[in-house]
A and B are shown apart, each in its own frame.
Chain A
Amino acid sequence: MAAMAVSRLRLAPPSLRQRMRLARLVVIVLVVVVLVIRVVGLFGEEDPPVGVAGVPSRVEQGAPDVDRSVDVHAGYGAWVDMYDYLPPEGSAAGEATVTPDEVDDMARQGVRTLYLQAAQLDVDVTAAADRAQPLTDPDLIAQFLVRAHLAGMRVVGWYLPRFTDLDRDLAHLVAISDFEVLGHRFDGVAVDIEWTAGISDPAERSDAAVELSDRLRDAVGDDDVLAAIVLPPVQLEVVNPQKWPNFPWRELDDVYDVWLPMSYWTERTPESGYQDGWTYTTESVRRLRADLQDPDAVVHPIGGIGDRVTPAQADRFVQAVSETDAIGGSIYDWATLDPVLSGDIAARIDPAEG
């Protein structure tokens, strides 16, 4: 009996109330489904644009993950200063000697890292005006940066502080660190610590250099690798001890991770014995590590000057880079170095690293 009753219950048609409940339920489910579809549609990924209009989007998609590690300085580098790509108006130079188009030539020659002067203190304008344009030319800088990344190169932005207005110096450096265009950022920041004309007293200058460096470190954080482009210790300690006595190596060592001594042997006389790529570079690196009290300090010597470097000197420089266990090396600068010689150096200085 009980089974029959249950069977009747199952077979009985739903009441009007039950049908209305069912209808309401169906409506609610439909509304929810529609809402979910709309929300997903709103927040779901839109197809990226294609064709020429899709170029900016593809540039962004191709941006490398920026890892500001010491490896950025490994291998062969090319140096470009602002006068290469932004010749002063009315100057004899007239036209730029280096354009973003040349980045592909650099890559073909074996350049791993482009060192690009991305900012310059404009001493002829007010601090406010200087702050308004923290980078030399964001348009051109962006072109160099993206073309280099597309060519598989890394780009380090560098700046020459004068130390007379640390706020302005810091603003330029932070602007380099923060610069981002279509997802591309500099792979490293380097500070060119060589300007002596701004503060005549060496101790005050040293204090300023250390303060600026500390403030930069605070600004970028502990994880970013910072590089110091420095006068070679041979120059400061042997050739011209008056240029910057008691350079604050130890204090700066707390801030910088990589050292790039400007070992421009072409600036030395034959009589000094330092007009030799190997002698000047190896002794500079040895003294640098001693000054830092760090025998394992990471170095990337810079030789030069490009248009006066002979193949024999370049050969000696490459030898020095290898013997000092330098992470990399380069010649200042790209515009003045013979392309064939540059290619030869790249082939030998760039280990199969990475």
Chain B
Amino acid sequence: MSCDATPATSVIAGQVRRRRPLLSATVWGLLGVAAACGGGGGPDGYSAEHRADFVEDCTTSVATAETCGCFYSRLAAQVPFDRFRELEEELTDPAAPMPPDLAAMAAGCAGAEQRRTGDGGDGG
């Protein structure tokens, strides 16, 4: 497989999400190829497209799209993209320990959302 054949979104969390073991293995394989090729296959950094995929995969019944969007923004502001990719690989294993600062970052976004959606006070 040539390096050019590596899917552009191979390290995006969402692309990994839907896969069962077989597909996960495929993704890991692709990651390995990407790494061997100097990482040229994945996104080079935070971007609107990357964000859209991230938010789509992050959103659940408890984590709204707003929370996930905020989470992505904070990641982009505070976590170098290389580190993001490392975290992405580490956290692909559901049993991997979750960095508490990352958890707090997500929680803060969910909390901040409550402030934004709170009763406006005057209520008309």
A59 touches B106 (CB 8 A): yes
What number of B residues sit within 8 Å (CB to CB) of A?
A: 47
**Cβ-neighbour of B110 out of A50, A104, A131, A142 (below 8 A):** A142
**Cβ-neighbour of A54 out of B91, B109, B120 (below 8 A):** B91
B114 touches A60 (CB 8 A): no
List of A residues within 8 angstroms of B106 by Cβ: 55-56, 59, 182
List of B residues within 8 angstroms of A58 by Cβ: 94, 98, 103
Assess whether A92 is interfacial by the CB under 8 Å rule.
Answer: no
List of A residues within 8 angstroms of B112 by Cβ: 138-139, 142
Q: In residues 128-147 of chain A, which contact B (Cβ within 8 Å)?
A: 128-135, 137-143, 145-147
**What per-residue 1/0 map shows which CB atoms of A169-187 lie under 8 Å from chain B?**
0000000000101111000
Q: In terms of DSSP, what is the predominant structure of the interface of chain B?
A: helix
A57 touches B16 (CB 8 A): no
B101 touches A132 (CB 8 A): no
List of B residues within 8 angstroms of A140 by Cβ: 108, 111
Q: In residues 79-135 of chain A, which contact B (Cβ within 8 Å)?
A: 100-101, 103-104, 126, 128-135
B108 touches A52 (CB 8 A): no
CB distance from A178 to the nearest CB of B (A): 10
Assess whether A48 is interfacial by the CB under 8 Å rule.
Answer: yes
- Beyond A52-B75, A53-B57, A139-B112, is A128–B98 a contact (Cβ under 8 Å)? no
**Cβ-neighbour of A142 out of B58, B87, B102, B107 (below 8 A):** B107
Assess whether A150 is interfacial by the CB under 8 Å rule.
Answer: yes
Q: How far is the CA of A172 from the CA of B119 in the complex (A)?
A: 13
A55 touches B91 (CB 8 A): yes
Q: How far is the CA of A58 from the CA of B71 in the complex (A)?
A: 14
- Beyond A49-B14, A55-B71, A56-B71, is A141–B111 a contact (Cβ under 8 Å)? yes
**What per-residue 1/0 map shows which CB atoms of B71-112 lie under 8 Å from chain A?**
100010000000010011001111000101111111111111
- Beyond A56-B58, A132-B118, is A51–B111 a contact (Cβ under 8 Å)? no
List of A residues within 8 angstroms of B102 by Cβ: 52, 55
Assess whether B4 is interfacial by the CB under 8 Å rule.
Answer: no
Q: How far is the CA of A140 from the CA of B100 in the complex (A)?
A: 14
- Beyond A60-B63, A131-B121, A182-B62, is A143–B104 a contact (Cβ under 8 Å)? yes
Assess whether A323 is interfacial by the CB under 8 Å rule.
Answer: no
Assess whether A353 is interfacial by the CB under 8 Å rule.
Answer: no
List of A residues within 8 angstroms of B122 by Cβ: 128
List of B residues within 8 angstroms of A141 by Cβ: 111
A129 touches B121 (CB 8 A): yes
CB distance from A184 to the nearest CB of B (A): 7
**What per-residue 1/0 map shows which CB atoms of B11-25 lie under 8 Å from chain A?**
011101110100000
Q: In residues 51-73 of chain A, which contact B (Cβ within 8 Å)?
A: 51-60, 62
Assess whether A223 is interfacial by the CB under 8 Å rule.
Answer: no
Assess whether A271 is interfacial by the CB under 8 Å rule.
Answer: no
- Beyond A52-B87, A131-B121, is A100–B114 a contact (Cβ under 8 Å)? no
B111 touches A49 (CB 8 A): no
Q: Which residue of B lies closest to A138 (CB)?
A: B111
B107 touches A143 (CB 8 A): yes
List of B residues within 8 angstroms of A305 by Cβ: none
List of A residues within 8 angstroms of B20 by Cβ: 47
Assess whether A208 is interfacial by the CB under 8 Å rule.
Answer: no
B62 touches A56 (CB 8 A): yes
A104 touches B62 (CB 8 A): no
List of B residues within 8 angstroms of A137 by Cβ: 111, 115
List of A residues within 8 angstroms of B93 by Cβ: 50
Assess whether A220 is interfacial by the CB under 8 Å rule.
Answer: no
Q: How far is the CA of A193 from the CA of B55 in the complex (A)?
A: 44
B17 touches A51 (CB 8 A): yes
CB distance from A10 to the nearest CB of B (A): 47
Assess whether A166 is interfacial by the CB under 8 Å rule.
Answer: no
**Cβ-neighbour of A146 out of B54, B63, B92, B104 (below 8 A):** B104
**What per-residue 1/0 map shows which CB atoms of A34-47 lie under 8 Å from chain B?**
00000000000001
**Cβ-neighbour of A181 out of B94, B110, B118 (below 8 A):** B110
List of B residues within 8 angstroms of A104 by Cβ: 100
CB distance from B38 to the nearest CB of A (A): 21
